[in-house]
Amino acid sequence: MKNLTILISGASIAGPALAHWLIRYGCSVTVVEKAPALRPGGQAVDFKGETHRTVLSRMGILDDVRKLQTGGSDQLLIDAEGRTLAVMPGEFTGGELEIKRGDLARLLHDRTAPACEYVFGDSITSLTETPDGVHVTFERAAPRTFDLVVGADGIHSNVRRLAFGPESGFVRFLGHYYALVDLDQDFGRVGRMYNEPGRMAAVGGPKAPAFFVFASEPLDYDRYDAEQQKDILARTYAGMGWRVPEVLAAVRRSSSVYLDSISQVRIDRYSRGRVVLLGDAAYGNTLGGFGTGLAVVGAYVLAGELAAADGDHRAAFDAYERVFRPYAKVSENGNAGPFLAPGSPSRIRMRNWMFKYRFLLAWMMKMTDKFATDIELKTY
């Protein structure tokens, strides 16, 4: 393919996965990431089914992912006395191949870093399209011009805001928030999840030291202010039973708190001129369970279509839209909030009940596999 210069915003999963393919097709790739270094952390993310496996294999990283896989483990759904009410099996929570998000980001970064440019601690401040490129200014680096710009910068995408408009036009709040908190106290190796209506608190197990999901009106807070987020958790979880007061005391001592809304991205078209969106920026659905698979398959399709069109971005972006949008549709349907934090005692019982019957679980797994494989992968 024609040697294109491509700027990717975001170095988590979608960005480095795309860099992988673009390098292979002969492009000059720069990845700009706002964080000062590759971001560690996050819960485990997962891959499911033949399509994800095929793309990882074509990337040549399937074995590496397998070596790093965490192996989904069961999560106990408990009552206020800590008694087990039901078991959410590892195969349900962890998909087919589960890996910590930070480990996957590291693997993709290390594979691509020798052949492209990573710029950490910077962010795009403006995008101006000209007849033959996009003029880009940055918070820190000097301005540069690229043939194409890709927004792989997550659900709160900066590129989407600059090129398409404010977040409120594309991101729908789904009525719940979630928080991930690293704790200095060990609550046990086995994952335990405790619910009261509209509130869920989980500790232990391989996912994250503490994981919260709660129903709420939209909250006004600073996503980069950990103390404010601890206050929100303290307020929301006040008076909750089981060991939650003890967990909240540990949250207060934590230096790593991340609280965000459960939201969904809806956008009519993934590209505008020479700017295109990939991963959560284009079809994110928080905790929906498909984000990482969509990011990796999306990167494969977007880069493949650019190569097939010999760098003609108009033809390639049209094809990306045509081929990928039906597959990404799954992100428009799910909402993990009411499942993880059901709103009433009867809904909590019903959710727990689903895990008591193998046939129901088998059906849910079958549906998940169907969505994850619902695309015919071209060989580019």
Ligand X SMILES: Cc1cc2nc3c(=O)[nH]c(=O)nc-3n(C[C@H](O)[C@H](O)[C@H](O)COP(=O)(O)OP(=O)(O)OC[C@H]3O[C@@H](n4cnc5c(N)ncnc54)[C@H](O)[C@@H]3O)c2cc1C
Residues that bind ligand X (CB under 6 A): 9-15, 32-35, 39, 41-43, 45, 101, 123, 152-154, 158, 180, 279-280, 287, 291-292, 295
> How many residues would you count in the chain?
380
C-beta of 13 vs 311, nearer to ligand X: 13
- Residue 139 Cβ, how far from ligand X at the closest point, in Å? 9
- Smallest gap from residue 353 Cβ to ligand X (A): 25
Q: 85 vs 173, which CB is nearer to ligand X?
A: 173
Question: Minimum distance from CB of 373 to ligand X (Å)?
Answer: 18
- 202 close to 191: Cβ distance less than 8 angstroms: yes
Backbone angles phi, psi at 142, to 5 degrees: -70, 155
- CB distance 217 to 201 below 8 Å: no
The sign of the dihedral angle between the CA atoms of 74, 80, 189, 62 is positive
Q: Measure the CA angle with vertex 100, ends 105 and 304; round to 5°.
A: 40
Counting DSSP H helices and E strands in the chain, the numbers are 14, 18
CB of 286 to ligand X, least distance (A): 7
269 versus 349: smaller Cβ distance to ligand X: 269
20 burial class (0-12, 13-18, 19+ CB within 10 angstroms)? buried
Token pair recorded at residue 157: 């995408």
**Cβ 120 to ligand X shortest distance, Å:** 9
d(CA 97, CA 341): 25
- 28-33 and 117-120 as β-strands: parallel, antiparallel, unpaired? parallel
Please say which residue, 279 or 334, places its beta carbon nearer to ligand X: 279
Complex with ligand X: residue 139 or 310, whichever CB lies closer: 139
> CB of residue 79 vs ligand X: minimum separation in angstroms?
26
CB of 313 to ligand X, least distance (A): 20
Residue closer to ligand X (CB basis): 49 or 279: 279
Q: Quote the tokens at residue 205.
A: 């197990």
78 or 159: CB nearest ligand X: 159
Query: What are the Cα distances from residue 205, in Å, to 71, 76, 289?
Result: 11, 10, 18
CB atoms within 10 A of CB 116: 19
Cα 245 to Cα 30, 188, 234, 241, 262: the distances in Å are 46, 16, 9, 8, 24
Q: Which long-range contacts (CB under 8 A, 24 or more apart) does 313-318 make?
A: 313/147, 313/148, 313/271, 313/274, 313/276, 317/270, 317/271, 317/276
Q: Give the amino acid at 163.
A: A
- Burial code (b: 16+ CB inside 10 Å, e: under 16) for 55-75 equals bbeebebbebbeebbbebbbb
- Select 64 or 153, whichever has its Cβ closest to ligand X: 153
- Is 187 strand, coil or helix? coil
Question: Which residue, 42 or 209, has its beta carbon nearer to ligand X?
Answer: 42
Nearer to ligand X, 175 or 311 (CB): 175
Give min distance, CB of 258 to ligand X, in A.
7
Which residue number is nearest to ligand X in terms of Cβ?
279
To ligand X, the closest distance from the beta carbon of 81 in angstroms equals: 29
Shortest CB 197 distance to ligand X, Å: 24
